[in-house]
Amino acid sequence: MTLRSLIEQDVRPDYIMLWVDSAHEKAIPQEVWALCHAGVNICFHNDIGPATKLLPALKEYPEHFIITADDDLYYPPDWIGRLIDAYDKDSPSIVCLRAHLAMVGDDGALLPYRRWDRRTDQQQANEKTQYIFPTGVGGVLYPPGCFSSEVFDEKTLAKLTPKADDVWFFWMARLAGTRQTRAPGRMELINWPGSQGAGLFHSNVSQDGNDSQISAMEKRYGLLSNSRIAAIEKKSG
């Protein structure tokens, strides 16, 4: 049903790619295979967690704009168009339709996820005490070259953020000096019935799993305001 909503977008993508763990090829329903006639490409890759929806495509299409979508959500026909309309070629950034404001404490570290501001009608954050943090469930547009080359370090990804691809991609963008913006307006989240029983939301948010993974990234790469990231941003700006 999600694939059908992508096929019916007002703005048609060049490719619709469904990334599947290679071990699960035989489990793909026939009705999904049938959508190949409508432009769906079923692609296989070893399972690297939720990041599977983006990393293989980044390797295969490094010069393309890539938009990610979760597999348990309805995407309205204007979804792709809204992301594209919000992209500014004169000030390239990652664009999302749903985001939180990642709040920074007095020590420069990010505050616990539960304390982040979810009212993100503004598209820009002040970048001193808060950052736009895309939540992938609403879809995210990634322009070419928006990540540090370290984004492909699957071993570190698996060690630090195995269940939080949003955290990994957020940090890899900041390391490259790429900012995040939010498209105007709201996007209502319409999940398919029965699809949320085993979602990552339960461990990452309800059980504070995001905080441990964010802390691991801060220890490995430094605070968002550290010299390495700040120097890259100053150079790119």
**pLDDT tens readout for residues 85-127:** 999 999 999 999 999 999 999 888 999 999 998 877 655 667 7
Token digits for 186? 């709201």
Is the distance from CB of 32 to CB of 42 less than 8 angstroms? yes
pLDDT band, very low/low/confident/very high, at 138 (cuts 50, 70, 90): very high
**SS3 readout for the chain:** CHHHHHHCCCCCCCCEEEEEEHHHHHHCCHHHHHHHHHCEEEEEECCECEHHHCHHHHHHCCCCCEEECCCCECCCCCHHHHHHHCCCCCCCCEEECCEEEEEECCCCCECCHHHCECCCCCCCCCCCCEEEEECHHHCEEECCCCCCHHHHCHHHHHHHCCCCHHHHHHHHHHHCCCCEEECCCCCCCCECCCCCCCCCHHHHHHCCHHHHHHHHHHHHHCCCCCHHHHHHHHHHC
pTM: 0.88
Rounded Cα distance between 101 and 48, Å, is: 27
**pLDDT tens readout for residues 46-62:** 999 999 999 999 999 99
Token digits for 119? 């009212």
Instruction: Phi first, then psi: give them for residue 40, nearest 5 degrees.
Output: -80, 130
Is the distance from CB of 1 to CB of 23 less than 8 angstroms? no
Is the distance from CB of 1 to CB of 74 less than 8 angstroms? yes
Give residue 112's Cα distance to chain centre. 19
Quote the pLDDT of residue 193: 83
> Over 80: is that where the pLDDT of 26 sits?
yes
Rounded Cα distance between 117 and 134, Å, is: 12
Quote the pLDDT of residue 209: 76
Strand pairing category for 40-45 and 99-103: unpaired
